[in-house]
Amino acid sequence: MGARILVANELTSYRQTIAMVLRELYPDHEVIEATSEAMDGEVARLDPDLVICSRVTSVVERRVANWVELYPECKPYSTFCEGGVRKTKQDPQLSDLLSLCASLP
Amino acid sequence: MPKPPDSRSEDPAKARRRRGRPRVLMANEPRAYREGIAAVIGQLRPAVEIEIVEPTALDASIERFRPDMVICSKATETLKGTVRVWVELYPENGTSSVANIGGRRTEYTEIQLPDLLSIVDKAGELAGTN
């Protein structure tokens, strides 16, 4: 079994899209969808290796080594945190997200 | 990858439709979601020809690509006047979306991925009936 990825970004079709792409490209990873409201609880329950969300929370920051804050408040940038190291990317591409997923154990 | 426009003298749109390969133009923001939705449509509807463009290139791409369906964040007058099936996905960063299918508008309070795929299917059906 590969990594566990929690997909909790807004909006519904976007979340479903990202989850479907990840499941297709990384069948060994476990991809779980959750609403943003349920994200913190799911982080505590599932201990994911990566969280993809629209607004990072203190729970995610504290408990998850890898996370992506994707287009917060619909802004044209995203923050990628990989192993605790943060980088902001302007207008990120899908490939940026996939690269992070590919680097997971 | 999308093929270049048909250079034969025959109407390219008619020739394409006879081949039964609907075209979907993706021009919504933001980029990663545009690319993601295109990837999903390409995976689940392999017969569909997809082109991805920046929103600013929407009108010019409609003229060049002659899509059967457009997914965008802001429907333009050119789009409304020339394309039978389109989806205005989360305009102005809201949660609602609007779909136009052959002149019939439907509002979605929170559109889902299966809704988009269903609209792609309807676009294919409409293209095939022309």
| B40-82 confidence digits (pLDDT tens) | 999 999 999 999 999 999 999 999 999 999 999 999 999 999 9
Interface confidence (ipTM) of the complex: 0.94
Distance, CA of B126 to CA of A11 (rounded, Å): 28
Q: Annotate chain B with DSSP letters as a single string.
A: -PPPPP-SSS-HHHHHHHHT--EEEEE-SSHHHHHHHHHHHHHH-TT-EEEE--GGGHHHHHHHH--SEEEESS--HHHHHH-SEEEE-SGGG-S-EEEEETTEEEEESS--HHHHHHHHHHHHHHHHH-
Q: Is A10 helix (H, G, I), strand (E, B) or coil?
A: coil
Is some CB atom of chain B closer than 8 A to the CB atom of A37? no
Q: How many CA atoms lie within 13 A of B14 on its CB side?
A: 4
Cβ distance of B116 and A13 shorter than 8 Å: yes
Given a cut of 90, is residue B84 above it in pLDDT? yes
Sequence letter at residue B66: R
Cα torsion B22, B27, B28, B34 to 10°: value is 70
This prediction's pTM: 0.90
Cβ distance of A12 and B30 shorter than 8 Å: no
- Give the largest Cα separation in chain B, rounded: 44
Instruction: Look up residue A24 and give its two tokens.
Output: 């297709």
Is some CB atom of chain B closer than 8 A to the CB atom of A70? yes
CB B120 within 8 A of CB B48: yes
Given a cut of 70, is residue B9 above it in pLDDT? no
- Give the residues of chain A that fall short of pLDDT 70: none
Q: Which CATH number fits domain B14-128: 3.40.50.10850, 3.30.9.100, 3.30.420.40, 3.40.50.920?
A: 3.40.50.10850
**Chain A partners within 8 Å of B93 (Cβ):** 74
Distance, CA of B99 to CA of B79 (rounded, Å): 12
Bridge partners, residue B51, by sequence? B25
User: Closest chain A residue to B109 measured between Cα atoms?
Assistant: A12
Most A CBs within 10 A among B29, B34, B37, B45, hence the mutation to make, goes to B37
